[in-house]
Amino acid sequence: MGIRRSLHPTSLKSQLSAPADILKHNKVAEKAAALGRAGVRQPQLGGRSDSHDRVFAHADWTVVPADQGNGGLRNAVNAAVRCQNLHDKIWVGTLGMPTDALEGTQQKQDIEDRLATEYDSLTVFCKDSDFDGHYTHYSKQILWPVFHYQIPDNPKSKAYEDHSWVYYVAVNQAFADKIVKNWKRGDVIWVHDYHLLLVPSMVRKKLPDAKIGFFLHVAFPSSEVFRCLAVRKELLEGMLGANLIGFQIHEYARHFLQTCSRLLCVEATNNGVQLEDRFVDVIDLAIGIDPVALDSNRADPDVAKWLTTMQDRYRGKKLIVARDKLDHVRGVRQKLLAYELFLNKNPEWRGKVVLIQVATSTTEQAELDATVSDIVTRVNSSWANLAYQPVVYLKQDISYPQYIALLTVADALMITSQREGMNLTSHEYLFCQDGKFEGHNKYGSLILSEFTGSASVFGGNELSVNPWDYSKCAEAIGTALEMGDEEKETRWKKLNAAVLHHTAEHWFSTFLDRLDKVYDEQHSRDTTSVPRLSMNELSHMYQGTERRLFVLDYEGTLASWGSPTNIILTSPQRTLDVLNDLLFDERNQVYVMSSRQPEELDTLFKRVPNLGLIAENGCFIKHFGSSKWIEMSDAEKMRQWQDSVEGIMNYFQERTPGSWIEKRHCSIVFHHEDAEDSETASRQAGDCASHINEACADQRVRAIQTEGAVAVEPIDWSKGTAAVNIFEKLKRDMSAEPTRSSPIDFLMVVGDGRDDEVIFRWANELGKDKTVANVTTVSLGSRNTEAGYTLTQGVTGVLTVLQRLSKIVG
Q: Summarize pLDDT for 428-452 with one digit per residue, the tens.
A: 999 999 988 776 678 999 999 999 9
Confidence of residue 20 (pLDDT cuts 50, 70, 90): very low
Give CA–CA dist 316/339, Å, rounded.
Answer: 19
Supply the CATH number for residue 747's domain: 3.40.50.1000
Residue 65 scores a pLDDT above 70? yes
Q: What is the pLDDT of residues 493-509, one digit of tens each?
A: 999 999 999 999 999 99
Residue 162 confidence (pLDDT): 67
Supply the CATH number for residue 654's domain: 3.30.70.1020
Give CA–CA dist 80/510, Å, rounded.
Answer: 11
Integer Rg of the chain from CA: 32
Same domain, 596 and 671: no
Same domain, 430 and 470: yes
Same domain, 424 and 378: yes
pTM: 0.79
**Higher-confidence residue: 511 or 265?**
511
Strand pairing category for 588-593 and 353-360: unpaired
Same domain, 607 and 647: no
Output 469-475 pairs: Cβ under 8 A, ≥24 positions apart: 470/334, 470/337, 470/338, 470/341, 471/341, 473/334, 473/335, 473/338, 473/341, 473/342, 473/416, 473/447, 474/338, 474/339, 474/341, 474/342, 474/345
Kind plus residue range of the DSSP H or E element containing 445: strand 445-449
Expressed in angstroms, the distance from the first to the final Cα of the chain is 52
Beta carbons of 66 and 15 less than 8 angstroms apart: yes
Residue 367 confidence (pLDDT): 83
Same domain, 319 and 389: yes
**Higher-confidence residue: 393 or 786?**
393
Stretch 344-357: mean pLDDT, rounded? Answer: 96
Does any domain span residue 61? no
Count of domains observed in the chain: 4
Does any domain span residue 753? yes
Confidence of residue 374 (pLDDT cuts 50, 70, 90): very high
> SS3 for 336-364, per residue?
HHHHHHHHHHCHHHCCCEEEEEEEECCCC
Strand pairing category for 211-215 and 188-192: parallel
Window from 130-139, 208-217, 696-705 with minimum mean pLDDT: 696-705
* Structural domain that includes position 646: 635-714
Q: Indicate the SS3 state at residue 567.
A: coil
Residue 177 confidence (pLDDT): 97
Stretch 697-702: mean pLDDT, rounded? Answer: 84
Residue 165 scores a pLDDT above 70? yes
The residues near 85 (Cβ < 8 Å, ≥ 6 apart) are 1, 505, 508, 509
Confidence of residue 24 (pLDDT cuts 50, 70, 90): very low
Window from 228-237, 260-269, 389-398 with minimum mean pLDDT: 260-269
The residues near 343 (Cβ < 8 Å, ≥ 6 apart) are 349, 350, 353, 379, 382, 383, 390
In the chain, the percentage of residues whose pLDDT exceeds 70 is: 88
> Taking the alpha carbons of 228, 232, 233, 237 in that order, is the dihedral positive or negative?
negative
> SS3 for 667-694, per residue?
CEEEECCCCCCHHHHHHHHHHHHHHHHH
Residue 11 scores a pLDDT above 60? no
Same domain, 189 and 277: yes
Same domain, 444 and 546: no
Residue 275 confidence (pLDDT): 85
DSSP letters for 718-761? -HHHHHHHHHHHHHHHHTT-TT-S-S-SEEEEEE-SGGGHHHHH
Does any domain span residue 548? yes
Confidence of residue 9 (pLDDT cuts 50, 70, 90): low
Look up residue 201 and give its amino acid.
S
Beta carbons of 202 and 238 less than 8 angstroms apart: yes
Q: What is the pLDDT of residues 531-571, one digit of tens each?
A: 899 999 999 999 989 999 999 999 889 987 654 444 445 56
Question: In the 8-state DSSP scheme, what is residue 657?
Answer: T
Give the best-scoring range by mean pLDDT among 83-87, 398-402, 640-644, 736-740.
Answer: 398-402
Mean model confidence pLDDT for the chain: 87
Give CA–CA dist 17/437, Å, rounded.
Answer: 36
Residue 2 confidence (pLDDT): 36
Q: What is the pLDDT of residues 77-126, one digit of tens each?
A: 999 999 988 889 999 999 878 888 888 888 889 899 999 999 999 999 99
Confidence of residue 156 (pLDDT cuts 50, 70, 90): low
Same domain, 337 and 408: yes
**Higher-confidence residue: 67 or 563?**
67
Supply the CATH number for residue 236's domain: 3.40.50.2000
Stretch 704-721: mean pLDDT, rounded? Answer: 88
Closest CA to 182 of 69, 86, 91: 91
Q: How far is CA 136 from the centre of its chain?
A: 24
Where a domain ends, among 694, 714, 734? 714
**Higher-confidence residue: 19 or 324?**
324
Where a domain ends, among 714, 735, 759? 714
Q: What is the pLDDT of residues 270-313, one digit of tens each?
A: 889 988 778 899 999 999 999 999 999 999 999 999 999 999 99
Same domain, 568 and 603: yes
Same domain, 622 and 642: no
Window from 36-40, 259-263, 351-355, 488-492 with minimum mean pLDDT: 36-40
Stretch 754-776: mean pLDDT, rounded? Answer: 92
Does any domain span residue 660? yes
Does any domain span residue 489? yes
Does any domain span residue 137? no
Same domain, 678 and 722: no
Does any domain span residue 142? no
The residues near 168 (Cβ < 8 Å, ≥ 6 apart) are 133, 134, 138, 139, 198
Give CA–CA dist 572/664, Å, rounded.
Answer: 24
Q: What is the pLDDT of residues 603-612, one digit of tens each?
A: 999 999 999 9
Stretch 228-248: mean pLDDT, rounded? Answer: 96
Residue 447 confidence (pLDDT): 97
Residue 571 confidence (pLDDT): 63
Residue 48 scores a pLDDT above 80? no
Residue 439 confidence (pLDDT): 65
Closest CA to 757 of 517, 522, 600, 532: 522
Where a domain ends, among 661, 682, 714? 714
Does any domain span residue 159? no
Same domain, 365 and 490: yes
Q: If phi over 0 gives left and psi between -120 and 50 gives alpha, with beta otherwise, what is residue 120?
A: left
Give CA–CA dist 775/797, Å, rounded.
Answer: 19
Residue 486 scores a pLDDT above 80? yes
Residue 6 scores a pLDDT above 80? no
